[in-house]
Amino acid sequence: MNNVSTKIRSFTDLNAWKRGHHLVLEIYRATNRFPRREDYALTSQIRRSAISITSNIAEGFSRISYNDKNRFYWRAEREK
Protein backbone atom coordinates (compact mmCIF):
# COMPACT_ATOMS: atom_id res chain seq x y z
CA MET A 1 0.00 0.00 0.00
CA ASN A 2 1.33 3.42 -0.98
CA ASN A 3 1.18 5.83 1.95
CA VAL A 4 1.45 9.41 0.72
CA SER A 5 2.51 11.61 3.61
CA THR A 6 3.22 14.81 1.69
CA LYS A 7 0.54 17.45 1.57
CA ILE A 8 0.04 19.98 -1.13
CA ARG A 9 0.66 23.33 0.50
CA SER A 10 1.45 25.47 -2.52
CA PHE A 11 0.65 25.52 -6.20
CA THR A 12 4.33 24.69 -6.77
CA ASP A 13 3.66 21.29 -5.19
CA LEU A 14 1.21 20.40 -7.97
CA ASN A 15 2.55 18.10 -10.67
CA ALA A 16 0.64 20.05 -13.31
CA TRP A 17 2.40 23.26 -12.27
CA LYS A 18 5.80 21.52 -12.23
CA ARG A 19 5.26 20.20 -15.75
CA GLY A 20 4.04 23.60 -16.90
CA HIS A 21 7.09 25.28 -15.39
CA HIS A 22 9.36 22.80 -17.15
CA LEU A 23 7.55 23.68 -20.40
CA VAL A 24 8.15 27.40 -19.77
CA LEU A 25 11.87 26.79 -19.29
CA GLU A 26 12.01 24.73 -22.50
CA ILE A 27 10.10 27.42 -24.42
CA TYR A 28 12.57 30.08 -23.26
CA ARG A 29 15.51 27.91 -24.33
CA ALA A 30 13.96 27.27 -27.72
CA THR A 31 12.92 30.88 -28.38
CA ASN A 32 16.39 32.15 -27.46
CA ARG A 33 17.48 30.65 -30.78
CA PHE A 34 14.85 32.58 -32.76
CA PRO A 35 16.02 35.50 -34.91
CA ARG A 36 16.19 38.83 -33.06
CA ARG A 37 13.58 40.33 -35.40
CA GLU A 38 11.03 37.96 -33.79
CA ASP A 39 11.66 39.21 -30.22
CA TYR A 40 8.55 41.37 -30.02
CA ALA A 41 6.32 39.26 -32.21
CA LEU A 42 6.42 35.47 -32.29
CA THR A 43 8.87 35.01 -29.40
CA SER A 44 6.86 37.19 -27.05
CA GLN A 45 3.57 35.54 -27.98
CA ILE A 46 4.88 32.00 -27.48
CA ARG A 47 6.45 32.87 -24.13
CA ARG A 48 3.33 34.60 -22.81
CA SER A 49 1.22 31.63 -23.84
CA ALA A 50 3.45 29.18 -21.97
CA ILE A 51 3.56 31.39 -18.88
CA SER A 52 -0.24 31.65 -18.81
CA ILE A 53 -0.47 27.91 -18.10
CA THR A 54 1.42 28.12 -14.82
CA SER A 55 -0.17 31.47 -13.98
CA ASN A 56 -3.68 30.04 -14.28
CA ILE A 57 -2.76 27.03 -12.15
CA ALA A 58 -1.37 29.34 -9.46
CA GLU A 59 -4.42 31.60 -9.60
CA GLY A 60 -6.82 28.65 -9.43
CA PHE A 61 -4.97 27.19 -6.45
CA SER A 62 -5.58 30.38 -4.47
CA ARG A 63 -9.33 30.35 -5.09
CA ILE A 64 -11.67 29.02 -2.45
CA SER A 65 -14.73 27.93 -4.39
CA TYR A 66 -14.73 24.87 -6.62
CA ASN A 67 -16.19 26.87 -9.53
CA ASP A 68 -13.45 29.49 -9.34
CA LYS A 69 -10.73 26.84 -9.14
CA ASN A 70 -12.24 24.92 -12.02
CA ARG A 71 -12.41 28.04 -14.23
CA PHE A 72 -8.68 28.75 -13.86
CA TYR A 73 -7.65 25.11 -14.20
CA TRP A 74 -9.77 24.85 -17.34
CA ARG A 75 -7.98 27.89 -18.78
CA ALA A 76 -4.62 26.31 -18.03
CA GLU A 77 -5.70 23.09 -19.75
CA ARG A 78 -6.90 25.02 -22.78
CA GLU A 79 -3.55 26.81 -23.14
CA LYS A 80 -1.46 23.68 -23.54
Return all residues near 13 (Cβ < 8 A) that are at least 6 apart: 6, 7
What is the average pLDDT across 25-31? Answer: 96
Q: Is residue 7 part of a domain?
A: no
User: Which domain covers residue 35, as residue numbers?
Assistant: 13-79
What pLDDT, on a 0 to 100 scale, did the predictor assign at position 18? 96
DSSP state letters, 41-60: IIIHHHHHHHHHHHHHHHHH
- The predicted model scores a pTM of 0.75
| Lowest mean per-residue pLDDT among 23-27, 30-34, 51-55, 60-64 | 60-64
Residue 30 pLDDT class (50, 70, 90 cuts): very high
- Per the model's pLDDT, the better-predicted residue between 33 and 3 turns out to be 33
Q: Is residue 2 part of a domain?
A: no
Count: domains in the chain:
1
